[in-house]
Structure 1
Amino acid sequence: MKVLITGGYGFIGSHVADRFHQEGHEVFIIDNLSTGRKENVKFKHKGYILSVEDPKCVEIFKSHQFDAVVHLAAQVSVATSVSNPIIDAKSNVVGLVNMLNISAMHRVKRFIYASSAAVYGYQTELPIPEEANCNPISPYGISKVTGELYCQKWQELYYLPTIMFRFSNVYGPRQNSLGEAGVISIFMDRFISQQPYIVYGDGEQTRDFIYVEDVAYAIYRSVNSSQTGIYNLSSNEQISINQIINILNEIQGTNEVKYTHKRTGDIDNSVLDNRKVMRDLDWSPLYTIQEGLRKTAEHFMENRVRRKKKKKNESVTRKKARQTFRKVQPFVENIVAFVLVAWLTLHFLNNTYGIVDVRLFYITIIGILYGSRQAVLAVFLSSALLIYQKLSEGRDIVSLTYDTNFFFQIAIYIFVGLVVGYTIERKNVLIKQHGLEVNELSERYAFLESVYTEVREVKDELQSRILNAGDSYGKIYSATKELESLEPERVFGSAVNVVKSILQAPKVMIYMVNPNQTYLRLLASTGYHTNDIPKSLKVSDHEFVSSTIQTGKVYANKKLEQGVPLMVAPLFHNDKVTAIIAIDGLPFENFSLYHQNLFRITTDLIASALSKALSYIEATESKRYVENTMILKPEVFSEILTSKMQTYEQYQVPYLLLRADMKNIANRDVSEYLSSKLRETDYIGLDSEGRLLVLFSNTSEKDKQNIVNRLAHPLIDFSEVTKEQLVCI
């Protein structure tokens, strides 16, 4: 099974990924690494660094047919949702809708959504059942309720089976300090850094803590279940903060506790009722709070959180320093350039060199290098320098206001500064825009290239398996040659051998479907004892039969139900199911998607041969039967009889052959009488001497008397044709 986990590098997501990997499933992850870390998932998998709201996510679904999507990616901080509800809604609502839409589009079989106990808000009834009214007190809780409504509506509109878990306070290894359950990871951090525990209030407030591996197991069970709807996922146990501290002190030594004022808006007690999830998913929490805290403490101690945080802080400090320097650098270089210009100007009486004004040259260079902002500063500094120079020459401010040359020079500075600065600024903006477009296209190209490479690897692997496996071209060619017949009975007989050979299936059976598609008659089988397989099946009594006929697809017994074949496939003729082929007894390692596809290809091959044979019979029907009867001509009947004999020799499928001795009754009357008594798989025909024979498919010796009684007619006597007598026919 292919499982996509959004937020799979995060706290809960990485444990869910571990669980599915341990159970032998293929794991794919989408995560933007805003809170998750790649090192949380150590096994081989395919990961995509994307946000769930990114349109490029659809490319991932196009490349892989996911069986289930576990949507854990979210903005989980209540404080962030209050300070910036737009970011919260973008991740928790827009991202969810994107995943739901793509999942429905690509026919995902199960969608799991991580909701939260935050949807309940203040509640007086404890434990809180799923039916309680939702009254969230934060934008985070609102976004989670909205997400539940979207999931329910997508199930109604697009038939996407969804299950929603309202998590209580999840804790465990790899947890950061976000969310309400982060109190445990905060306590762990404080103990490692030798800081006192901070408790808001008296510490008697209670929460419903659940260990993260219990959550992962519940999600795993939900993917393999047919249940949908909303479920509380909790331990259904109230644990106070003081109890947490006491357990931690027992595990890792006593630490100081400081009690402070209770925070506004904190709920005193919270516990979720988990009886519904325990009943419907046959799940229960395995870890006590003591066991969970012990495993969590061991993880935090082993990973030396304090050292990692120190390195992270140093890295952040260096990054901020570099950012600050980049911002200040243009101003510093502008001032240095101005000092040089001022020195050149003030140390020469004539401030021009030939026809070049040093200040104008300075404004132009600064504008070209840094754009309009620094150009304006250069104009201001150059104008100030010009005023200072004029004043040092003995001019006064009043006289300068009447000097047209002075104003013209200032106007030139402003004009050059604005034109050059604006032009360069516009050029820089265009370059930046083009750069962003190039980066976006490069990222998309790199992403599509990685998807292409992955698909190519899968294709090469599949091609290698086809070339090197026992079910390669030689065997397929032999199967094709074996099915070359224009007689349906021979096609059915050969089909058993073809399926057995290609799929190495110990047990194979083929049933013919009656015209009304209500009953099935056994045509051929191998690997079964005579009494182990029913000769006829009622469609409505067997779910695997009705499913195969109604959907027209290969049925796989994934639940390994007793008495049900491992795989069943339909055979079509004129867009209608004519027969079904079932196989059983495959080794467990062969019960895979690869072998399901191989079975489908094989049955398509058989269906093509059968359809060709049936079409031939329909086209030559007038040449097969004695005129105005349903009695087969000798050459046609002989071929069918030979096919039955070969099937008996190979697979011990019994048959019964009766001779009809008639007294003054026409063939037409006999045909009408017998046709009403026979099944779709039985035949009436003439032998080489013109004697009338009746052939009963899949009929043993013990059934002979019942059949003779059923066919009793005053003008017709029936007697069995023995194997020895067949030689003469």
Structure 2
Amino acid sequence: MDRDSEMATILITGNTELFTQEACRALAEENKIILAGTAKFSGKHKNIHYYRTLPVEEKFAHLFEVFTFDAVWYVTGYADGGEGSFGEAQQLEQTLAECRRSRVGKLIVLSTVNSQNYLDTYGRMGELLKREYPSSGTFSAAKTEELCQYFQDKTEMCVVTLWLPYVADRVNDKNFLGGVFRNIYEKDKVIFPYHREDRVDFLAMQDLTELLIQITEETEDSSGSYYATSGYRYQYSDLEEMLRLVSPDVQVMYENYPDMIQWPDYPMELRSKYGFVPMENVMENIGSYYRTFINEVVRGRRGAGSRILGAFTEAGKGIFKYIELILVFLIAELIAYYTSDSVYFKFVDVRLLYIVIMGTIYGMRMGIFAALLESAVLVRQYALIGMSGTLLFYNIENWIPFAIYLMAGSITGYIRNKKTDELSFSKQEYALLRDKYIFLNDVYHGAVENKGEYKKQILGFKDSFGKIFDAVQRLDNELPESIFLEGLQVMEDILENHTIAIYSLDDYQRFGRLVVCSSSRLTKLTKSIRLEEYEEMYRQVKGGNVWKNTELIPDMPMYACGVFDGDRIVLLVAIWEASVEQYGMHYMNIFRILCGLVQTSFLRAVEYESLQEERLYYPETNVARPERFRQILGVQEDMQEAGVADYVLVRFPGYDQKEVSELLAGMVRASDTLGMDEAGNIYLLLVQMNKRNFGIVGERLDRKGLQYQLVEKVG
């Protein structure tokens, strides 16, 4: 499929750690990537927007209000052999709900092949009794996919589920292969979940992203689940041998869980549907993967000199202040020693100044340490002049210098710590405000970018005045048959439902003849219904109400509404199926309004036809003149081409219009039409009939002695 020139907007959420920064940048070359998760990314890219939020948070819902996503990629916690994320079901359910609410075109769920690791148990009659899973993880992964299946059945959203094997990326330490490489590097045991002889498969990240883009860009596909394998066949024993080549002393253990996965030899379904061809054989490049992982992830990209300097800098951050404490202490003591006899320094306490400096610069702890050092010096000086410890302790006057030193260190240190804490709090508050500003700024720019698109959506929304005005214009027609076709198309468009049928009721209100219906129901609905079989529905519709099948009675439409001519129902509009979101009062009111528009247009067309009867029909007959007949036939041809109606055209050669009109009196249904062409040939247009069920009508014509021919067109 040719790629669109415009960038697709893609939301990646869930376990976003599966995608590395390099993978996202590769995706962003031709797409706009929105990341919503807990993975940390550094740097900026014009086509990558990162939001630290989970689907269960309110901030996540705002993203759907700002951006118009072409597709959403949800990565389950079970992908790549994971054990699931916290609140997995709630996160996926919220993602599905937001996709449905915002009418996202496609949701791609990245799951795991382990969800297919089960054993079916059947009964005597071949019925499925239960499905056994070897572990709680495989069971939980399968239940997560059942949630996707439920939304897929209840909505029209395209949900594509991919059963992934292990995903290989050279610089990802969060995936299965990265964990294996790290264990090897750290001399830990490597544990594999299955047996040595069981199959193992790796899909390269580059192949996976290419597949995801192909699925996103495909517009003619439908929901489904597929194995996204590499097509290469290897066992865990082969992987063990490859790992021993890169690290001969690796210790490998097997948990020996049963492997009942029905692995396909090649992802043929994905190839035929999306043109997916996996290119890289990861197993052949395990050695290259390991070396890249160690150099890029474990050791980092820095050289030996920069790593040593960095290690020295980190270690020096804590030691430097203690070195400065001792060094300044020695300087202060030297100054005090050489200035002790100076008259100018009698009023200057260098030791107190030292304590104030250390407390002011480094806080309370260093201020107290400085005070303790100077207190020790003071004790030594008291000892040198012959003062004993007992005298020093019991003479309270001797405590004053010690108290001043400790108070100076504590007070200055406390002030320093308080200012530091206030500054730290301000920085945190600033960072929080900055994050909020960045988010709001992105929201603003996203809203500006989508302003034009939102305007189109508002003007084209299903129940906007623009849509209603368009419906009125389309229904403004003098031909009842055209109103049937346009009314059906208008309802399908606005109601977003393709199970609609319109019936015409006979004068006795016993039968409803199918006039037109959605193409999906053409072969499923009977050509007529007996109203006595729908007594409850008919009684409510006859009272001027909209029938709603709240009890979900089988073989009954979900909605029905009548089109009245006075007190008599002339048309019955039915919606046979409805999705969960179409059960509300709002939807029923729109249906009532549209039926009212059809009623107004239909009655106007019938009134026009009765007023122009002499111009449209031959006198004393019900045979339409050529111009009128061709108009009616043209509408039926349009209906047949649209797949919403069938018809059979019968020609009666050599008959007079009065003769045919009299012979067919009582045989022709109200929905059928007799007409004449310019050459004088009489035709009978039988609507909602095909050649397979023409036999009954043919027998009636034979009994009347009429000669007739089945033709494809007039003339």
Which bracket does the TM-score occupy, shorter chain normalised? 0.5 to 0.7
Displacement, 1:8?
8.6
Q: 1:579 to 1:417 in 2, by over 3 A?
A: same
Q: Which residue of 2 aligns with 1:689?
A: none
User: Percent of counterpart pairs with the same letter?
Assistant: 14
* 1:634 equivalenced with 2:608 (yes/no): no
**Distance (Å, rounded) in 2 between the aligned partners of 1:340 and 1:696:** 116
2:426 is aligned, of 429, 434, 442, to 434
Q: Which residue of 2 aligns with 1:273?
A: 260
1:399 is aligned, of 391, 404, 408, to 391
Per-residue CA deviations over 1:575-598 (Å, capped at 9, x if unaligned) read x99599xxxxxxxxxxxxxxxxxx
Contact 1:521 1:537 in 2 (8 A): no
Paired residues for 1:152-551 under 5 Å: 170=166, 172=168, 174=170, 181=177, 205-206=196-197, 208-213=199-204, 216=208, 226=223, 237-241=234-238, 244-245=241-242, 258-259=248-249, 262=251, 266-267=253-254, 272-275=259-262, 282=269, 291-294=281-284, 306=295, 312-314=301-303, 317-349=308-340, 357-460=349-452, 483=474, 485=476, 489=480, 492=483, 513-514=502-503, 520-522=514-516, 538-539=524-525
For structure 1, the 5+ residue unaligned runs are 79-87, 122-129, 191-195, 250-254, 468-474, 503-508, 525-532, 542-549, 552-569, 581-604, 626-631, 664-669, 685-693, 715-729
**Distance (Å, rounded) in 1 between the aligned partners of 2:631 and 2:434:** 65
Task: Return the letter of the residue paired with 2:170.
Answer: R
Deviates more, 1:431-440 or 1:319-328: 319-328
**Distance (Å, rounded) in 1 between the aligned partners of 2:191 and 2:270:** 34
Contact 1:338 1:378 in 2 (8 A): yes
**SS across alignment from 1:48:** strand
**Distance (Å, rounded) in 1 between the aligned partners of 2:418 and 2:79:** 37
Displacement, 1:106?
0.8
The two structures, once aligned, show a CA RMSD in angstroms of 7.1
Displacement, 1:179?
6.4
**SS across alignment from 1:69:** strand
**Distance (Å, rounded) in 1 between the aligned partners of 2:698 and 2:500:** 24
Contact 2:73 2:109 in 1 (8 A): yes
Q: Which residue of 2 aligns with 1:546?
A: none
Q: 1:269 to 1:68 in 2, by over 3 A?
A: same
Paired residues for 1:652-667 under 5 Å: none
Q: 1:16 to 1:360 in 2, by over 3 A?
A: closer
Per-residue CA deviations over 1:293-329 (Å, capped at 9, x if unaligned) read 446667889x797588765254655544433333334
2:63 is aligned, of 55, 60, 63, to 60
Task: Return the letter of the residue paired with 1:514.
Answer: Y
Deviates more, 1:325-334 or 1:207-216: 207-216
Contact 1:485 1:609 in 2 (8 A): no
Contact 1:29 1:46 in 2 (8 A): yes
Q: Which residue of 2 aligns with 1:70?
A: 74
Contact 1:167 1:232 in 2 (8 A): yes
Q: Which residue of 2 aligns with 1:48?
A: 50
**Distance (Å, rounded) in 1 between the aligned partners of 2:406 and 2:433:** 40
2:95 is aligned, of 103, 108, 113, to 103
Q: 1:15 to 1:163 in 2, by over 3 A?
A: farther
Per-residue CA deviations over 1:531-576 (Å, capped at 9, x if unaligned) read xx999664489xxxxxxxx99xxxxxxxxxxxxxxxxxx99999x9
TM-score w.r.t. the length of structure 2 is 0.54
**SS across alignment from 1:70:** strand
Contact 1:114 1:165 in 2 (8 A): yes
Task: Return the letter of the residue paired with 2:395.
Answer: D
Paired residues for 1:641-656 under 5 Å: none
**Distance (Å, rounded) in 2 between the aligned partners of 1:73 and 1:20:** 21
**SS across alignment from 1:93:** coil
**Distance (Å, rounded) in 1 between the aligned partners of 2:504 and 2:476:** 23
Deviates more, 1:700-709 or 1:436-445: 700-709
**Distance (Å, rounded) in 1 between the aligned partners of 2:486 and 2:197:** 67
**Distance (Å, rounded) in 1 between the aligned partners of 2:49 and 2:111:** 20
Contact 2:191 2:255 in 1 (8 A): no
Displacement, 1:344?
3.2
**SS across alignment from 2:387:** coil
May I ask how many residue pairs the two structures share in their alignment? 563
**Distance (Å, rounded) in 2 between the aligned partners of 1:181 and 1:321:** 32
Per-residue CA deviations over 1:376-399 (Å, capped at 9, x if unaligned) read 222222322332343344433332
Per-residue CA deviations over 1:12-48 (Å, capped at 9, x if unaligned) read 77999899999x99865446556x8999xx9x96452
Contact 2:178 2:293 in 1 (8 A): no
Q: 1:480 to 1:338 in 2, by over 3 A?
A: same
Displacement, 1:112?
2.7
